[in-house]
Amino acid sequence: MTTVPDTANLLNDALVGSPLECIVVRPHLNTRLALWIVGDWNAVFPTLAPRRAPDLQRMVFKLREWTGWSARQLGDVIGTSHTTVYGIEAGRRVTEGHSGDLRCHIADAYDVIERIFLLGGRDPNATARLLETAPVGRRSAVEELQAGQPSRAYLAAIDVLRPRLPGLLVAEHPRQTGATSALHE
């Protein structure tokens, strides 16, 4: 004849690490219910709601922090309206059908402006100046970002920071026909 221990003894034995006097059957986890029954005790687990990491929200916030731009200025750079920028900052989801390549534009702008922010000495005014000033004979970094050319935008900002000097590799005059020979000859 087996005796079933009372709940208090079973709980005390389990807490101090003694072996249990009876087998506790572990039920399958039912994710729809927030209640498990283990032996005679109820274990309540909170329901988990999956949350996406707010990457776009963080990126937009950082872009505005690094440059000191308004939502309208940032919207012009990434190709959207200022209300969309405010919506992203507030945590609203970006709808794929309406936004087009907005995620890509934000990610490209983030990558470029993050590097330019470091080149500008972590100064928002210097970063905005590097982005908005056009190098001699070329488009500014902002215009290159608007055209979807992040690599050219980065080069434009570097050229504003350290202008190219005329010399051996950068000529002042266009190449004349026949002036040089091809490398394979």
Domain extents in the chain = 55-161
Q: What CA–CA distance (Å, rounded) separates 144 from 157?
A: 10
CB distance 164 to 126 below 8 Å? no
Please give the angle made by the CA atoms of 88, 91 and 94, to the nearest 5 degrees.
50
Collect all residues with Cβ–Cβ distance below 8 Å to 42 and sequence separation of at least 6. 35, 36
Query: What is the helix (H) or strand (E) element at residue 178, kind and residue range?
Result: none
18-32: pLDDT as tens digits: 555 665 555 555 555
CB distance 115 to 54 below 8 Å? no
Q: Which two tokens stand for residue 96?
A: 């794929």
Share of the chain above pLDDT 70, in %: 59
Helix (H, G, I), strand (E, B) or coil at 146: helix
Total Cβ atoms within 10 A of residue 153: 27
Helix (H, G, I), strand (E, B) or coil at 7: helix
Total Cβ atoms within 10 A of residue 108: 19
60-76: pLDDT as tens digits: 999 999 999 999 999 99
108-163: pLDDT as tens digits: 999 999 999 999 999 999 999 999 999 988 999 999 999 999 999 999 999 999 98
